[in-house]
Structure 1
Amino acid sequence: MEAKAIRTTRYLDIDEINEHLKNVEYIMMAASSPEHFKESPIHFTIFLNTSDNLPKDIQDAVLDKFLEENGIRNPIEVMSRIMPVGFSEGSHETLMPLLLIKKEDMTTVPHVPMFVFDFLADSDNFYEAKEKSLTGWSYNYSD
């Protein structure tokens, strides 16, 4: 299977995002890190489906659980806070979450607040991101 470029055809509006996130517990995204981070070659973003500002001890416990369950090691540059997240439709099979960093994106892309962990790390479980510089994401749904 050949990797295709990620193309966006449209962004979901707020109502569509809220509908899309029903029963979503979290979304995990993996991409390659900038090349000079050799010890932490994967850029992870974990989008929790909550806009609650989690206490530090809960944040630490949640992150530790993700690290352990996914065989992730050497996390660095860890950012954890509520951030604006948009969703795009396009050439990919599932809707792609978009962590909005730039002010112009925040004003032009519809978004919702989500609690986000964003960090660089290593794992043998994310070969596509680590070895092939591919970006991927997966959804985890509540029962």
Structure 2
Amino acid sequence: MLRAARERAGLTQRAVALALGVAGGERVSAWEAGRGTPRDTQLAPLAKILNLTVEEPGNREPPLRLLGLRAGLSVPTFAAAVGLSVRTVFRWESGEYVLTLTGSVLDRWSDALDAPSSVIESEFRRGKT
């Protein structure tokens, strides 16, 4: 997915690396090959550089993670904003932990992601399928 998004954006690995402030294109190449992943602090800028959106077909990021990227939040920042541990967020995204979306959780997520509750509910359900 990363390579396809980069190519759609008409960027070289080196151009993406320079825009993110990482050394050369080798790191981006490694990410594309699955030999590493960008840091949380690099995810929002990377999504912006590659014009990724929640609606992007075939995007493998969990839907709510993409809303977080669009809001400029790293996983630790999002976790703190919604009152969860970083581990809980990662466990939930991986399907290892089941999170119930109650009214208070939904409100916190809506505020943190700057998105309407209806969008959060829809993306939450989509991420469960």
Identify which of structures 1 and 2 has the higher relative contact order when contacts are C-alpha pairs closer than 8 Å and 6+ apart.
1
TM-score normalized by structure 1?
0.27
Q: Which has the higher strand share?
A: 1
Q: Which has the higher helix share?
A: 2
